[in-house]
Structures are given as C-alpha cells and as structure tokens.
Structure 1
C-alpha cells in the first residue's frame, strides 16, 4: 500500500535530520577538538601564507621584468595584495585588530617596539595593517637566520627586512622612516608566555637607536 504523505514526510525527516542528541554530541566533539586542530594547522597555515606571498612576489617580478630594484613604489601593488591576505588571515583566524594606528605620523620618523612571540604573527599582522592603512613601508629589523631560509631573500628585500645595526636603524629614523624592532628576539620567542612577559635581558639597542637618531 502507498505510504501516507505524513508518514513519508516523517521518514524523510528521520533520514535527513539527525537526532538532536547526535547533534549535541557532534557539537561537543567539535568544540573539544577545535583547539587541538587549530594548534596543529596554524604552523602549516603560516608557512603556506609565507610561501604564497613569496610566489606572488616572484610572479610580480617576472611579469614586470624587474631586476634588482626593490623600491616601494615599484612593488606597491604586489605588497598591498600580499598583505591584504595577511590582514584577512589575522582578522578571521585570530580576530586581530590594531588600536591607535591613527597616532602614527603620516610622515616623519617613528620607532615601534614589538613583542616577539614564538610565532611573530603579531608583527606580520601589524605590518599588514600599517602598510594598508597608512601606505608607509616600515624598516623591519629581523634575525640573520631568516636570510638562510630557502627562497626568502626576495620576500625580505621587498618587505624591507634587514638584520639592522644601531647606525642603520638610526639612519632610517633620520630619513623619516617607520622602524620596527623586536628587542627580545629569539630569547623572547623561546620563553614567551600567554601573558606577553617581556624578555629583553640587557638588550638596549633600541634605546641607543632612539638616542642616536636624536629622538
């Protein structure tokens, strides 16, 4: 005999809609494992975004037939596109926001002292917001080992990343640049904690930069 319409609807509902108890259990599993999944995926996402940025810059270089010129005006379009991805990643994955960026001068020198976490994602996201919102490319001081990472040389040059010395940083400030320094460096990265405890030890180079530049 033909199944009544009401019975057919009930059968379809049972087939397509899981039991509420099952949904609750699946939700519980999701929230239970979400932190672990996030922690496992994050390093791979960071590496993926870094090499995506590198690939994009390399394609830009080939497309525009650039040699060894790394002026911001030449690379501006490529930089803004790559940093747009980083800004979106920071906002969606971490809810990252920058407060007080309007206080940065539209021109003239500025020295930003930044915390160095295990993954310095704060720096990536800060640079992205800074460049996109102020159209100023910062002078970024980073460790020498980054230049030994395969394929990173182009990315570092285009993004104006340098090992830096007190004098080169002071010169950048005198030229009216925005300089970003992470005094804690690798030590702070190794001993970082969720409370952003500062591990600068006796590293006072950033202060000598400010004094040398006449700040």
Structure 2
C-alpha cells in the first residue's frame, strides 16, 4: 500500500518527460567529472599488478628468468598504458630519436592537469628502447595509499638536487616538470608557470647532461581544471600545497608528444641562463604544435588524419 501511494504521488506530481530531459542535459556534465576517475582506476590497477608481481616473484623469476624483480612487472604495466594511449588518444611521439639509446639525459616537460602524457611516454620508451625513465613527483603523492609501490617499481622520487644529479650521473634518464602541481592546476592556456625554480638547471649542470625539452599536444584538452574559483584554489594551494581545483575531462583527443633537440651541456652557462633557454625551447614547441586558443572539439577532430595540421 505504501509503495502504491508513493508511485501514485510520483505519477501525479512529477513530469516524467521533464525528468528525462533534465537527466539527458546533465549526463555529459556528469561524465566529464567521472572520466578522470578512470585514470585513478588505472593507477590502482597498476598498483594491484605490481603487488601481484612482488607477491609471486619467485614463480615469475623461475618462469621468465628475469634478473630484476620489477622488470616483468614494468613491461606488463608498460603494455597496459601503451595500449590505453594508443586506443584512447591515438598517442604518438615525434622526436623519439632525441632521447639517447644509452647514457643520461634530463627531460623537462610541460605539466598538464593530469600528466597522462608522461605515463604514455614512460611506457613507450620502456617498450621501444628498453629503458626506464626515472621521474620526480610532488611530495603529496607519496602519502596516497598504493602509490609507494608504483614509485618503488617505476623509480619515482620526491627529488632533491643531489638525488636527481646522482641518478643522472649513473647514466639514467630523468623527467622533471619545473611547474609541477602549480602549473597543472593553474596554467589554463599552455603558459609555463615555473616562477623562479632553478633546481632542474642546477641538476643538469652538476650532472653535465643534455636537456631534452618536451611538450604534448592537446594535453589540456584531454583533462582540464575548473577555472572558476581560481583565487580560492590559489590560496588553498599556497597554504596546504595540495591540488584542490577539481579536474574534469578524459576526452579522447589526439595526443602527440614532441621531443625537441637536446640542449647540450655548456660549462659556461649559469642556472638562470639554462632555465631561460629550456623555457624558450618548450614555448617554441607549444607555439609550433598547439592550436590556440585551445579547443576540445578541434582536438577531437584531429584524431582524423586529414584534420591534422601544423599550427604555425
């Protein structure tokens, strides 16, 4: 009786067609905020895969005869992310020859709302060149449950000048975004937001390695941060050093990572001069390859080859 009464009330007082119309209108908005959760899902899937590899290492070692306990796990994770990039974003790399087949190099990249392009790059280089790129991440990530095992396997560190320089001196490649979370949250128009950060320049000069500039086309059309309430989010970030601006998106736009010509080590250059040189190189990549003003619709169209063009 109670159910019938409720049903009768709904039928008499609610316009079903209107409710369906509202649902239809709000559905795209709902989806744009839910899609970023898929990236979180992939990260936790990565953690789960790595836990499985660590738990059953002895069996894996006996089966695959791998010397490094993480090697099989890395290749599995790399295959997962490379496949996702290929299907969802038609991901490509231009200038892959600018990364060395052996020896050290420092990769400096523009930070999108979510650095999904970096994940794809790590996977591709691991599979194509059989090399692991070490990366520097913000401190808050290491407090997230499940991230520690990803960091252990994929060589992700908080990063100091000394530790980063040591990694490069050992002949490894290292990726750093000078803008970090600040750039990810508040750079809405592909503007570099490095402030006066010189750490990466000091690292490159101390380790005596070349710097490879990197930019990924349409990275901010894939995921964006909400610009409304920018002042509030800036104040919160300044106080807590945590990204509070909501992220939305997950759009399957075309993504191409552009790796510029290496900037060779120059013993006569200062950190300030090197920072300016690298910033100019990345800005040149942005101006050459990124459509401005940025547009999600055109970024989606660029999945079709005939709509691809250079943005001079």
Same fold (TM over 0.5): yes
Pairing 1:188-203 to 2, within 5 Å after superposition: 188-193=183-188, 195-203=189-197
Partner SS state of residue 112, structure 1: strand
Q: Name which of 48, 58, 83 aligns with 1:55.
A: 48
Unaligned runs of 5+ in 2: 1-23, 60-65, 210-312
The answer to whether the aligner puts 1:158 opposite 2:157 as a matched pair is no
Partner SS state of residue 107, structure 2: strand
Deviation (angstroms), 1:83: 1.5
Partner of 1:205: 199
Deviation (angstroms), 1:41: 3.7
CA RMSD of aligned residues (A): 2.3
Q: State which structure, 1 or 2, has the greater radius of gyration over its C-alpha atoms.
A: 1
The answer to whether the aligner puts 1:95 opposite 2:77 as a matched pair is no
TM-score between both structures, scaled by the size of structure 2: 0.54
Superposed CA offset, 1:140-196 (max 9, x none): 111111110012111111110000111111111111100110100111011122x42
TM-score between both structures, scaled by the size of structure 1: 0.77
Question: Would you say the 8 A contact 1:83–1:128 is kept in 2?
Answer: yes
Pairing 1:22-171 to 2, within 5 Å after superposition: 36=29, 39-65=32-58, 73-171=68-166
Whole-Å Cα distance in 1 between the matches of residues 115 and 67 of structure 2?
Answer: 23
Whole-Å Cα distance in 1 between the matches of residues 93 and 27 of structure 2?
Answer: 26
Aligned residues: 180
Unaligned runs of 5+ in 1: 1-29
Superposed CA offset, 1:46-98 (max 9, x none): 011001110001011111159xxxx9832111111112111111122122211
Superposed CA offset, 1:83-140 (max 9, x none): 2111111122122211111221111011100111111111111111111111111121
Structure with more helix by fraction? 1
Deviation (angstroms), 1:214: 2.0
Whole-Å Cα distance in 2 between the matches of residues 54 and 72 of structure 1?
Answer: 21
Question: Would you say the 8 A contact 1:170–1:210 is kept in 2?
Answer: yes
Superposed CA offset, 1:20-54 (max 9, x none): xxxxxxxxxx9x99964662342121011001110
Question: Would you say the 8 A contact 1:72–1:137 is kept in 2?
Answer: no
